[in-house]
Amino acid sequence: MDNFQEKLQSITNGPIWEILSQIENPQLKLAAQEAIEQLAALAEDEHSQRLNANNEQASCSDIEGHQRLIDELTKARDQAQAVSKLKSEFVANMSHEIRTPMNGILGMIEILLRTELSSSAREYTLLLKEAGKSLLSILNDILDFSKIEAGRLEISNCEFDPASLIEGVGEILSPQADSKDILLSTFIDPRIPAVLTGDPLRLRQILLNLGGNALKFTSQGSVSIRADFLSHTDDKVSIRFTVIDTGIGIPESSIERLFEPFVQVDGSISRRYGGTGLGLSISKRLIEMLGGNIEVISTVSIGSTFSFTIMLQATKSSTTAPITKSFQIDAAQSTVIILDDDAQLKDCIAKYCHCFGHKTESCSTVSEAITCIEKARKNSGLITLIVDGARHSQLALDLYEREFYGQENQSLSIILLTTKDLRIETEALLPKGLAKTLTRPVRRNALKYHLSATNPHETIGGESLEKSSQDHKQAKTHKLRALVADDNKLNQQVAKILLQGLNLEVEVVENGMAAVATFESGLFDIVFLDCQMPELDGYAAARIIKKLQEKRDTRIPIIAMTANALEGSREDCLAAGMDDYIAKPIEPAELEKILRTWSKDLEKISTITQRLTTGQFAIQAPKPMIEIDVLASRFSLKNYKQLLTMFADTAIGEITTLQEHLGKEDYNAVRSAAHSFKGACGTICAPKVANTLQELEAAATKADTSQCEALIARLEAEVSKALAETKRHLQGN
């Protein structure tokens, strides 16, 4: 090889390729690579011609020409990257500016839906809501992608509960799954520590993207979201996250293209299913930022499996010991039989039951279940049968006729899986009191909680449930006890009235600190926390109460209450470790559903919905500012009059407080006071006033003084009308 060829090769293999490796844009990189290869070929051909002409001069000038090429490519690369960054920053800023008012629009739509609308107006408003949510989803994708491209997306590092995260993702996706009649299951390996350090927001975003995609492309069958423990070395835990579906599948030749931005497998997919084609690209980049790589296994018409493995930091208090300490069960005396045709669901429940100390059997037909029951009976132990009452109601009926009809069967109990929408229908399948219902996707602690209710020999924290009931001799006659924390007096009264109407004893406190102290010193069956409270908000209070429960080896459900109608509130509540969520203004039927979901003692709960349909509450004609008919449908005559009286006593003071805060330019205080008053106005069914307070809350967030002043003036006029209506109603009835 002559001197020229050596120098040419050293240049093309060296500096130029170093420049190419720094170009992030794939199209620009490919074009530059092709140009270099063509130039190198031309240079070598020209050199050969010169050699043939015995003109071996100018090799130095050739090298100088290539050096100029390197300089030009470097300049072009820098310019292209600067333009790309500027474009990404512009799109990120614009997406954020568009998304902010979109959140406000969706919030107003939610409030509008709570007002009295004609059937056609409600239909149009629901369509508007769906269109708004779709637009917001697209904006979120574009914003995240642009942030990644612009290098503005940062990975945080904080403690989080992986079980709450995985199960919270399932909770968020469950309405989508239920609407398509798809079985959605979640699983968190019991060996994974209860507390890890990482970025829960980005991890949740990845799982929501993958899970949402799986549901979108699955028309029948199931979707499973799993977190499996791989290893634990020093202070690091290796976890594999997996999303499995039985959807349309992906051709092997198309898998590589999946993660390119704005790309779907083919055009027909985009037309049929919609979407931006950004979700998987964003997920891949986020996974790489978390230190992992995404893998795909897929078969057309069979389904797909997306998985990634990442290392997460274990805290000093983390442990990978099995979670059986809270339930010390004699395995020889307890068998759980799982009847279902979905392998993922059976595997998840079986692993949970095994870690609780139960023997497990899985089956797919009634005949197999009967065989398992007869086999378990030989051990003279307690048997719990778990069957999906929503999907396999006939199986449940067949087993009832075989095992219970016309006879007592004290050794066998039944847990029926169901969805939130089908809970009442599922409960009605079998005679009252025979079976318990458990909403899916099945939460680990909820399953543990329900299994404890079917087995009087189980122990919680070393104390048997049987002994516990002896220590509390009147447990059957005592009402369930609820702890309610809310900083608004009117909202406190509403929660108290509704819960007492459902036959519960209620203790009310006004902030998160008081909630923690009261919980620590008392015995409660359920806790309700408002999310925005002074001193300690509901999110922080939930985390502390959860740690107190872990110390006691108990499990008391924590329910979030919030007036925030914007997207993400539910996700935030579940991520904080709360078990469920109810929006304000609280609907009595929804509250009853929550209690029936989380209470073992269903017979202690009265049925408000029955009273609503029997005409027990007097219905008044609707009023312009306060919807008395809606208010009356939620409360008895005495109670809703009491609420109106409280509103009349406190409304002027609320406005005065807002004016004082604004005079001091304390916008955080204005926002907080507006949020609290908004919840109270929603509770007494004054949607116009609540609407104004929502706008005031948004204006205070932006520190817009003139807008705040205008809104408070409007608020005064609206409250004045509402008070006049309140006075007329109280005096006239």
Residues 6+ apart with CB under 8 A from 631: 640, 643, 644, 684, 685
Residue 311's pLDDT is 95
Stated pTM of the model? 0.53
CA 56 → CA 4, 503, 673, distances in Å? 9, 102, 86
Question: Is position 612 within any domain?
Answer: no
Query: Which residues form the domain of 37?
Result: 3-82
Separation between Cα atoms, residue 174 and residue 211, nearest integer Å: 10
Write down the residue that tokens 């614009």 correspond to.
94
Residue 731's pLDDT is 72
Closest CA to 502 of 438, 415, 583, 598: 598
Give the range among 264-268, 435-439, 539-543 with minimum mean pLDDT.
264-268
Separation between Cα atoms, residue 601 and residue 297, nearest integer Å: 45
Pair (358, 449) in one structural domain: yes
Of residues 234 and 571, the one with the higher pLDDT is 234
State percent of the chain over pLDDT 90: 17
Separation between Cα atoms, residue 28 and residue 20, nearest integer Å: 9
Pair (467, 339) in one structural domain: yes
Pair (173, 232) in one structural domain: yes
Pair (641, 598) in one structural domain: no
Give the range among 25-34, 162-171, 572-581, 604-613 with minimum mean pLDDT.
604-613
Q: Could you say which of 602, 620, 646 is where a domain stops?
A: 602
Give the range among 111-125, 181-195, 268-282, 292-306 with minimum mean pLDDT.
268-282
* Angle between helices 200-216 and 279-289 in degrees, nearest 10: 150
The predicted-structure confidence for 129-172, as pLDDT tens digits, reads as follows 877 776 777 777 776 776 676 666 778 788 888 988 898 888 88
Query: Tokens in use for 82?
Result: 């600067």
> What are the beta bridge partners of residue 507?
483
Pair (303, 358) in one structural domain: no
Query: Tokens in use for 389?
Result: 């009452």
Residue 240's pLDDT is 97
DSSP annotation of 234 reads T
Residue 299's pLDDT is 92
Of residues 241 and 82, the one with the higher pLDDT is 241
Pair (17, 146) in one structural domain: no
Of residues 594 and 193, the one with the higher pLDDT is 193
One-letter amino acid for residue 543 of the chain? R
505: helix, strand or coil: strand
Residues 6+ apart with CB under 8 A from 305: 242, 243, 244, 245, 296, 297, 298
| Radius of gyration, alpha carbons of the chain | 31
Closest CA to 242 of 171, 301, 302, 169: 169
Pair (452, 496) in one structural domain: no
* Angle between helices 489-501 and 588-598 in degrees, nearest 10: 60
Closest CA to 117 of 622, 658, 722, 670: 622
For the chain, first and last CA: distance in Å? 107
Question: Is position 239 within any domain?
Answer: yes
One-letter amino acid for residue 561 of the chain? M
| 40 confidence band (pLDDT: 50, 70, 90) | low
Residue 303's pLDDT is 94
Residue 306's pLDDT is 96
DSSP annotation of 224 reads E
Of residues 384 and 43, the one with the higher pLDDT is 384
Residue 409's pLDDT is 59
8 A C-beta contact, residue 377 and residue 411: yes
Q: Does the pLDDT at position 68 exceed 60? A: yes
Residue 258's pLDDT is 78
Query: Tokens in use for 631?
Result: 């208010």
CB atoms within 10 A of CB 402: 13
Pair (242, 188) in one structural domain: yes
| 485 confidence band (pLDDT: 50, 70, 90) | very high
The predicted-structure confidence for 392-415, as pLDDT tens digits, reads as follows 777 777 777 777 655 555 678 889
Strands 459-460 and 435-439: unpaired
The predicted-structure confidence for 423-439, as pLDDT tens digits, reads as follows 777 777 777 667 788 88
Question: Is position 651 within any domain?
Answer: yes
Q: Does the pLDDT at position 464 exceed 70? A: no
8 A C-beta contact, residue 530 and residue 672: no
Q: What angle do CA 541, 542, 548 make, to 5 degrees?
A: 90
Pair (106, 164) in one structural domain: no
| 684 confidence band (pLDDT: 50, 70, 90) | confident
| 277 confidence band (pLDDT: 50, 70, 90) | low
Mean pLDDT along residues 563-568: 48
Separation between Cα atoms, residue 251 and residue 441, nearest integer Å: 30
Of residues 457 and 433, the one with the higher pLDDT is 433
Select, from the ranges 257-266, 274-283, 533-542, 558-567, the one with the highest average predicted confidence (pLDDT).
Answer: 533-542
How many C-alpha atoms does 14 have within 13 Å on its Cβ side?
9
Give the range among 68-77, 479-488, 552-561, 647-656 with minimum mean pLDDT.
68-77
Residue 598's pLDDT is 77
> What CATH number does the domain containing 672 carry?
1.20.120.160
Pair (511, 561) in one structural domain: yes
Q: Does the pLDDT at position 349 exceed 70? A: yes
> What CATH number does the domain containing 215 carry?
3.30.565.10
Question: Is position 164 within any domain?
Answer: yes
Question: Is position 607 within any domain?
Answer: no
Pair (424, 500) in one structural domain: no
Separation between Cα atoms, residue 190 and residue 358, nearest integer Å: 14
Pair (223, 294) in one structural domain: yes
Residue 290's pLDDT is 94
Q: Does the pLDDT at position 239 exceed 90? A: yes
Q: Could you say which of 150, 181, 203 is where a domain stops?
A: 150
Question: Is position 227 within any domain?
Answer: yes
Question: How many domains does the chain contain in total?
Answer: 6
Query: Tokens in use for 142?
Result: 């574009």
Q: Does the pLDDT at position 2 exceed 80? A: no
State percent of the chain over pLDDT 70: 71
613: helix, strand or coil: helix
| 312 confidence band (pLDDT: 50, 70, 90) | very high
Q: What is the mean pLDDT of the chain?
A: 76
Q: Could you say which of 121, 150, 179 is where a domain stops?
A: 150
| 296 confidence band (pLDDT: 50, 70, 90) | very high
8 A C-beta contact, residue 284 and residue 259: yes
Question: Is position 626 within any domain?
Answer: no
Backbone phi, psi, residue 50, to 5°? -65, -35
Closest CA to 115 of 688, 658, 705, 699: 688
One-letter amino acid for residue 588 of the chain? P
Backbone phi, psi, residue 303, to 5°? 140, 180
Residue 289's pLDDT is 92
Residue 329's pLDDT is 46
Query: Tokens in use for 71?
Result: 């300089």
Question: Is position 485 within any domain?
Answer: yes
Strands 294-299 and 222-233: unpaired
Backbone phi, psi, residue 680, to 5°? -65, -40
